[in-house]
Amino acid sequence: MASLYISCFGGQDKGVAIDPKQSEALTTSSTSAASGALKGKYVKLQSADAHWVYLAPGTVAATATNGSYLAANEILWLAVPNDTYKVNSRTVA
């Protein structure tokens, strides 16, 4: 089991995230897990463990084929198309 930390922001100014909207700690494993619906235009993802992450409208399994790779102890920023999207993630085996 691992944790993926999710922070959502409503905007950015000169490359800096502004207007924090929500935070969530998603418990992940080798099977895909999904966050709640994202409230914001940008999402920051970080974890002490490597993950495959996939933004999608709803719950969709994150895989090496469709996902973005988040290396351990790194940060990944993604744009959120709309508020139906969720972070789908699983740890890298």
Determine how many CB atoms are found less than 10 A away from the CB of residue 55.
21
What is the C-alpha to C-alpha distance for residues 79 and 54, in angstroms, rounded to an integer?
A: 12
pLDDT of residue 93: 78
* Residue range of the domain that includes 37: 2-91
List phi, psi (to 5°) of 65: -80, -45
pLDDT tier at 91, thresholds 50, 70, 90: very high
Report pTM. Answer: 0.92
**Amino acid 44: pLDDT:** 97
End-to-end CA distance of the chain: 11
CA distance linking residue 52 with residue 5, whole number of Å: 13
Q: Domain total for the chain?
A: 1
pLDDT in tens, 41-88: 999 999 999 999 999 999 999 999 999 999 999 999 999 999 999 999
Q: Coil, strand or helix: which one is 45? A: strand
